[in-house]
Amino acid sequence: MTDKTRYRNPGAGAVEFAAEFLAGFKREEAAVLAPALLRGELHDPSDKRVKRCGHCGYYWRDNSLRNTKRTCSDECKTGIKSLQKRQQRADAALLDTKPKKHKLMDDYIWWLEYPFWIHEYSMIKIGWKFERPSGIALMDYVETSRNQMGDGNRKKSNKHVDYHGDDRDLF
Ligand SMILES: [Zn+2]
């Protein structure tokens, strides 16, 4: 634990260590001693079994046979592993150089004061979802549509019935 400004809840091992240490004291005395204990000022510094937990950062006593544990509890062990995994995922994402599929929106430079498109094709494809045409741009748009669709875009129905035709011939 190098970052002393980051606080986590003490793990079970850290709680046990503090409880054992403060067990013989009255409540008021314990309240005075606890901060110093948490700062690591009360235990015997030559005691190699007392260490800071690699996850919660509190002092605890390693009672494992070889004194090789780095976290005070199983929960802290799990916590440190999930942090490492998160870090690995972040690193992998940073180093991932696989080319991403190019999207039309990638061509829109929106973070400048005057946003613009670097490819006209992309602009025409989705540009007007963001800015409605007006003025000359609008006239261009109407002109273009007219050229593409003709004057009317209503389909003529094949089943059109002419009520005003020569239907009196039927009688
Ligand atoms: Zn811990």
Phi-psi region of 135 (alpha: psi -120 to 50; beta: other; left: phi over 0): left
Cα angle for residues 8, 10, 12 (degrees, 5° grid): 140
Find the 63 Cα to ligand 1 centroid distance in Å: 14
CA of 64 to the centre of ligand 1 (A): 15
What's the confidence (pLDDT) of residue 121? 80
Give residue 18 CA to ligand 1 midpoint distance, Å: 12
Find the distance separating the first CA and the last CA of the chain, reported in whole Å: 101
Over the stretch 109-167, which tens digit does the pLDDT of each residue have?
Answer: 777 777 777 888 887 777 666 665 556 666 666 667 666 655 555 544 455 555 554 54
Domains of the chain: which residue ranges? 12-87, 104-149
Tell me the CA–centroid distance for residue 123 and ligand 1, in Å.
55
Distance between alpha carbon 85 and the CA centroid of its chain, in Å?
15
Host H or E run for residue 52:
strand 50-52
Q: Residue 87, Cα to own-chain centre: how many angstroms?
A: 13
Note the pLDDT tens digit of each residue in 6-36: 567 899 999 999 999 999 899 999 999 999 9
Residue written as tokens 């009688």? Answer: 171
| Residues facing residue 93 across a β-bridge | none
Q: Nearest-5° angle of CA 19, CA 24, CA 28?
A: 85
Give pTM, 2 decimals. Answer: 0.50
Tell me what pLDDT residue 161 has.
52
Whether 71 and 83 have beta carbons less than 8 Å apart is answered as no
Place of tokens 């942090």: 83
Answer yes or no: is pLDDT of 86 > 80: yes
